[in-house]
């Protein structure tokens, strides 16, 4: 087996539940080669997907509706079929089939790990000096917290004339309560750290794009995670 093959495999990762590829983009910036699996957004279904065991890593964020407070309200009012089902078991199945060296799963703080032995890391975009409060959790077999770069001092979050805004105000696809008007798709992408015209070439409705952007991982947060993975692998933390 050639050294070139081994080096390529070391950087080849599978992304499941990729959505618009917002987390993928952060890993690609770190030099990983990302292969995107099927997603409902593009007419695919992970439940019919059986990947070959050729990937060094697996990343992904299963739908979080089953674990969100509003999701529980919808299920109580409209029934279990009103929200996406719990898809973490599918993420676990993919791990069993691929047998990667490492993996990272993103979801809401109220979700659970796909593996019994895993490190849990909670992050808030506001901790990174941004004006959006957006808390997400990451589970991994790597100890990512040990390799995170220092966060900006929290006192800097409120610097300037703008106040720190909540995730509802900043990325809610129905509009901002703070500004009392609907946000554009470009506004939402910018707040998530992406170019405002990033999706202009994609064959997707504006409504679907807004929902996907609001559920995606902000680029600064994804970059911090991808960088921590790179450092953990370089350090041999497996």
Domain span including residue 12 = 3-234
In this structure, are residues 215 and 209 in contact, taking their beta carbons and an 8 Å threshold?
Answer: no
Please give the residue that has the higher pLDDT: either 127 or 73.
127
Average pLDDT for residues 155-179, to the nearest whole number? 42
The DSSP line for 55-86 is -SEEEE----GGGSHHHHHHHHHH-GGGSPPP
pLDDT, one tens digit per residue, over 14-57 is: 999 999 999 999 999 999 999 999 998 888 999 999 999 999 99
**163: pLDDT strictly greater than 60:** no
In this structure, are residues 102 and 144 in contact, taking their beta carbons and an 8 Å threshold?
Answer: no
Q: For position 152, what pLDDT does the model report?
A: 62
**59: pLDDT strictly greater than 80:** yes
Q: For position 64, what pLDDT does the model report?
A: 77
**101: pLDDT strictly greater than 70:** yes
Q: For position 3, what pLDDT does the model report?
A: 42
d(CA 28, CA 11): 10
- CATH code of residue 129: 3.40.50.150
Provide the whole-model pTM: 0.81
85: helix, coil or strand? coil
Token pair 């593009």 is found at 42
pLDDT, one tens digit per residue, over 173-230 is: 344 444 445 778 888 888 888 989 888 888 888 888 888 888 889 999 999 999 999 9
pLDDT, one tens digit per residue, over 119-140 is: 999 998 877 777 677 788 999 9
Strand partners, 106: 138
**234: pLDDT strictly greater than 60:** yes
Q: For position 75, what pLDDT does the model report?
A: 53
Question: Considering its fold, how many domains does the chain have in total?
Answer: 1
CB atoms within 10 A of CB 36: 16
Q: For position 171, what pLDDT does the model report?
A: 44
In this structure, are residues 195 and 186 in contact, taking their beta carbons and an 8 Å threshold?
Answer: no
Structure tokens at 83: 């929200």
Please give the residue that has the higher pLDDT: either 178 or 162.
178
Please give the residue that has the higher pLDDT: either 54 or 70.
54
Element containing residue 109 per DSSP (H, E): none
């Amino acid at each position: 087996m050639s050294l070139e093959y081994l080096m390529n495999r070391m950087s080849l990762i599978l992304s499941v539940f990729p959505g618009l590829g917002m987390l993928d983009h952060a890993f690609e910036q770190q030099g990983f080669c990302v292969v995107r699996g099927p997603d409902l957004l593009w007419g695919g279904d992970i439940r019919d997907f059986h990947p070959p065991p050729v990937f060094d890593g697996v990343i992904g964020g299963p739908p979080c509706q089953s674990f969100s407070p509003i999701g529980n309200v919808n299920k109580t009012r409209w029934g279990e079929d009103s929200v996406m089902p719990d898809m973490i078991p599918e993420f676990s199945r993919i791990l069993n089939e691929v047998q990667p060296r490492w993996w990272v799963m993103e979801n809401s703080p109220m979700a659970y790990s796909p593996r019994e032995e895993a490190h849990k890391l909670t992050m808030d975009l506001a901790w990174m000096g941004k004006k959006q409060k957006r808390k997400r959790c990451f589970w991994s077999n790597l100890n990512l917290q040990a390799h995170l770069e220092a966060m900006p001092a929290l006192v800097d979050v409120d610097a300037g004339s703008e106040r720190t805004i909540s995730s509802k105000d900043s990325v809610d696809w129905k509009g901002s309560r703070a500004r009392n008007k609907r946000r554009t798709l470009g506004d939402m992408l910018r707040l998530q750290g992406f170019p405002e015209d990033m999706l202009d070439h994609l064959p997707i409705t504006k409504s679907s794009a807004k929902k996907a952007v609001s559920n995606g991982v902000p680029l600064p947060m994804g970059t911090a995670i991808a960088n921590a993975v790179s450092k953990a692998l370089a350090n041999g933390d497996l």
